[in-house]
Amino acid sequence: MREKWTSAPKIAAEYVVGMNDSSDRRDILTGWQSMAQGGDGGQIEPWGPSIRSIVYPDWSDADFSVAIRYVKDLAREI
pLDDT per residue as tens, the chain (78 positions): 578 999 999 999 999 999 999 999 999 999 999 999 999 999 988 888 999 999 999 999 999 999 999 999 998 876
pLDDT on residue 1:
56
Q: Is there a domain that residue 3 lies in?
A: no
Q: Is there a domain that residue 2 lies in?
A: no
pLDDT on residue 32:
98
pTM of the model: 0.90
Q: Is there a domain that residue 18 lies in?
A: yes
pLDDT on residue 53:
94
Task: Show the domain range for 18.
Answer: 8-42+49-77
Say how many C-beta atoms besides its own lie within 10 A of residue 25's C-beta: 17
Say how many C-beta atoms besides its own lie within 10 A of residue 7's C-beta: 13
Q: Is there a domain that residue 70 lies in?
A: yes
Burial class (CB in 10 A: 0-12, 13-18, 19+), 44: middle
Q: How many domains does the chain have?
A: 1
